[in-house]
Amino acid sequence: MLDKEKLRKADVFSGAAFFLFGLWVVSQAFRMPMRDSWGGVMNVWYVSPALMPLFIGGVMMLLGAMLCRIGLKTVGFEIFKGTLRWLASPDLLRVLKSDVSVRFYAIAVLFLTLVFVNLPRVDFFLCAVLFLSVFITMFYFLNDSLLQKFLRFYLAGEAVFIVFFAFGLHSPTDETPSYAADVLALAFIIAYLVYVWMKTRSQAELRKKFRIGLIVALTTPFVIGPIFKYFLMVPLPKEGLVVAALDYVWYLEFL
């Protein structure tokens, strides 16, 4: 259990972050119209959509400032200055480069790229297979050296994705949908799995874990996905190449 001093130090930084986030919410709320006309009728300020985020942002700023004050009052400014000096020292760099930190980076990168890069633009099934393949091989092997290598390979592939999407190469050029992003994702999955196999084939235990992880990564999306798509009628975030192939079989379009 953390002692009270460490908790109060954390309160100072978390309170500051909370205050800054509330400030950002308030700044964005001020961009909303306070008064506007609709159908020739002028709406008054107290029905503005900006009131709710202004209230929430203001409360967040207040609570964040109070949390900072409580933390500083408990630990004192001298101890807080010592913490700031540590943050500017080489010790922080060593912590940021530690294996625990790298594992945190890997988890953050995986979820951020899934949500903000892949899922809105690549077929859901391919996104799920890629995410599970990378996640399982990074953490199931319990090898920090391999994790760092897999992370670098994954980052290189995602950099290609970002450039590909930035230039709009995934957008359709005519009435037909474009599967270019799905083909690229499929090639990325194959390349990543080949790379992992090359790094693990010399160790029997890792080869076994690789096979188990591959089975889980491939079967899970194709068991859960069709249930939502065809039985619960839930639209998937992005329906591309794989969904088109499944539709072709499910609706017997080949007959």
pLDDT in tens, 206-224: 999 999 999 999 999 999 9
132 belongs to a structural domain:
yes
Residues 122 and 237 in one domain: yes
Q: Secondary structure of the chain in the HEC alphabet? A: CCCHHHHHHHHHHHHHHHHHHHHHHHHHHCCCCCCCEECCEECCHHHCCCHHHHHHHHHHHHHHHHHHHHHHHHHHHHHHHHHHHHHCCHHHHHHHCCHHHHHHHHHHHHHHHHHHHHCCCCCHHHHHHHHHHHHHHHHCCCCHHHHHHHHHHHHHHHHHHHHHHHCCCCCCCCCCCCCHHHHHHHHHHHHHHHHHHHHHCCCHHHHHHHHHHHHHHHHHHHHHHHHHHHHCCCCCCCCCHHHHHHHHHHCCCCC
Domain containing 47: what range? 4-88
Indicate if 205 and 115 belong to the same structural domain: yes
Whether 106 and 53 map to the same domain: the answer is no
Mind listing the pLDDT tens digit for each residue in 2-38?
A: 466 667 777 788 888 889 999 999 898 888 766 655 4
Is there a domain that residue 156 lies in? yes
Answer yes or no: do 195 and 222 share one domain.
yes
**In which band, very low, low, confident or very high, does the pLDDT at 47 lie, cut at 50, 70 and 90?**
low
The number of domains in the chain is 2
Domain boundary among the residues 88, 119, 136 is at 88
Least confident of 80-89, 101-110, 155-164: 80-89
Residue 84 lies in a domain: yes
Looking at the fold, whether 71 and 109 belong to one and the same domain comes out as: no
| Domain contains 255 | no
More confident residue, 30 or 58: 58
Would you state the pLDDT for residue 97?
83
Percent of the chain whose pLDDT exceeds 70: 84
